[in-house]
Amino acid sequence: MKPLREIVDGPFAPWMGDDDWTAWLSFMSALRAEPMSRYERKIYRKCTSRTDVPSEPCNEAWVIVGRRGRKSAVASMIAVYFGVYGSWPRAKGETVRCLVVAVSKEQARLVRNYCLAILESRPAFQRLITATDADSISLSTGVTIQVVSNSYRSIRGPSVALAVFEEVAFWYSENTTNPDKEVLRAVRPSMLTMPGALLIGISSPYARRGLLWEKYKKHYGKDGKVLVWKADTKTMNPAVDPDIIADAYDDDPIAAAAEYGAEFRSDIENYVTLEVVEALIPHGVFERAPIGGVRYQAFCDPSGGGNDSMTLAIAHMHKDLATVDCVREVKPKFSPEIVVAEFAALLKSYRISKIIGDRYAAEWVVDAFKRHGITYVLSEKSKSEIYVELLPILNSGKADLIDNKVMLNQLVGLERRVSRGGRDSIDHPPGGHDDVANAVAGVITNLRGKIGSYDATLNWVSGGDDTPADWATRRLLAYTATGGRFFR
């Protein structure tokens, strides 16, 4: 292949404009083992903590750069370079892919649009384009530049000469607990027959876990064919306004250090381990039918039909175990009124006439369930507080779950953050969801007697699986504590 440095300084130059790309030129020279100026070698050593200068092209690179550092632009340039100038072995009629895997379809198409803009910036490049669609650009060189979202299923297929993992630190999927590693395992075999194939992971940093963090720990500052490059926004893009970055550090130093300083966050931890949750799931038990004489409870996480699912979980106490019987998730787009009707019918099959749920759109959801003969009770505690109370139940094995992959992945994907005030906050990761996990957590902690709550008229509702004597005692305590306000 022609030197990447020559291509960037020449054919790509009109698209790159007059901005200062020196730091990225240093990276690309290191990637391809091409000559660097003295100043570029200084940048290289600063961003890699290495002492050597590469003597042969890298086959793998992990690039950790702050926000607005022009990561997508560089990923696009490398994809076009491999597509236009690479000479790849292929059978007659076979297509070789330069694959860009992104956190979402929208992000993937941004890279695709960059690639198309580069190719259309010069007539010689433009003549190579044979076909385009929303996700790919086919070239007469026999290479297709293809962009996909982070699903390992979309990776399998023709040979891959280049794989770029865009914003890999933020990949999330409800189908697997480790989407980054699943995608890596899926793409490796497609690169085996491509001499000189290159894998690049390029992202802003996030929590101290996942593929990007593991590669950083293993290879940063070490010589070899796996290059780890770590640099703040200002180093990689001097055009960014320093006042914006300074304001971000004043507002939240930890978040800004990750966003602009390329530092992995120290305030985010896993909520619960995969092993703990898997130990509570009986394989092949997807639902438990209602049984006569059993008292069931339910928790609902409603949605108005936007981006979130509407979920319901039903459970009961069996000996000392909070036993989940049924989980329902309705994904958008849907009619909230129709979903409430379906949920109400399911609740009645379990002899449930009263449920506890999230305070989302409280008045609407209370009225909607009331029309179907179900009393909707507002949870007294926030979602984060419910998760705090769920954790010891899970860790002590006091729950019996069902075989539900979305529930498993959402629970394991939850993050514990320490706020600036020192309080724990537990929520889903950026771009993720926890609607099923919230419903399951709510019903389990309610069964364990942890959630006290109030209905729509602020009457006290029991939070545990009470006997009549327990209920009478709770009513007396509520009456005494509130001067009769919550007594009924």
pLDDT band at 224 (very low <50, low <70, confident <90, very high): confident
Instruction: Using the predicted structure, report yes or no on whether residue 464 has a pLDDT greater than 80.
Output: no
Q: Say which residue, 487 or 133, is predicted with more confidence.
A: 133
What CATH homologous superfamily does 4-266 map to? Answer: P-loop containing nucleotide triphosphate hydrolases (3.40.50.300)
What mean pLDDT do residues 82-93 have?
A: 84
Half-sphere exposure of 473 (CA within 13 A, CB side): 7
What mean pLDDT do residues 138-154 have?
A: 83
Cβ contacts of 477 within 8 Å, gap of 6 or more = none
**Lowest-confidence region among 52-61, 423-432, 433-442:** 423-432
What mean pLDDT do residues 26-37 have?
A: 93
What mean pLDDT do residues 168-193 have?
A: 82
Q: Where in the chain is CATH 3.30.420.240? A: 274-457
Structure tokens at 101: 């895997």
Distance CA 190, CA 176 (A): 21
Q: What is the pLDDT of residue 154?
A: 66
Contact 322, 398 (CB under 8 A): yes
Q: What is the pLDDT of residue 69?
A: 93
**Average per-residue pLDDT for the chain:** 85
Q: Say which residue, 359 or 318, is predicted with more confidence.
A: 318
* 322-354 pLDDT per residue, tens: 999 999 999 888 888 999 999 999 999 999 999
Q: What is the pLDDT of residue 362?
A: 60
| Owner of token pair 């129709």 | 338
Contact 280, 400 (CB under 8 A): yes
Distance CA 432, CA 174 (A): 8
**What's the pTM value of the predicted model, to 2 decimals?**
0.74
What mean pLDDT do residues 308-327 have?
A: 93
Please state whether 243 falls in left (phi above 0), alpha (psi between -120 and 50) or beta. Answer: alpha
Nearest to 421 by CA among 193, 252, 179, 281: 252
Q: Say which residue, 354 or 453, is predicted with more confidence.
A: 354
* 274-457: CATH, from 3.30.1490.190, 3.40.50.1100, 3.20.20.140, 3.30.420.240: 3.30.420.240
What mean pLDDT do residues 12-28 have?
A: 91
Instruction: Using the predicted structure, report yes or no on whether residue 451 has a pLDDT greater than 60.
Output: no
Instruction: Using the predicted structure, report yes or no on whether residue 289 has a pLDDT greater than 60.
Output: yes
Cis peptide before 217 (omega within 30 of 0): no
DSSP assignment, residue 194? -
Q: Where in the chain is CATH 3.40.50.300? A: 4-266
Q: What percent of the chain has pLDDT over 70?
A: 87
Instruction: Using the predicted structure, report yes or no on whether residue 460 has a pLDDT greater than 50.
Output: no
Sign of the C-alpha dihedral, residues 33, 37, 39, 42? positive
Half-sphere exposure of 416 (CA within 13 A, CB side): 16
Q: What is the pLDDT of residue 244?
A: 93
Half-sphere exposure of 243 (CA within 13 A, CB side): 0
pLDDT band at 138 (very low <50, low <70, confident <90, very high): very high
**Lowest-confidence region among 141-155, 174-188, 457-471:** 457-471
- 3-class state of residue 53 by DSSP: coil
* Of the ranges 174-183, 291-300, 407-416, the best mean pLDDT one: 291-300
Instruction: Using the predicted structure, report yes or no on whether residue 488 has a pLDDT greater than 70.
Output: no
Radius of gyration of the chain (CA): 27
What mean pLDDT do residues 164-174 have?
A: 84
β strands within 60-173, DSSP E? 60-65, 96-102, 129-132, 136-139, 143-149, 160-166
Q: What is the pLDDT of residue 477?
A: 47
Q: What is the pLDDT of residue 174?
A: 62
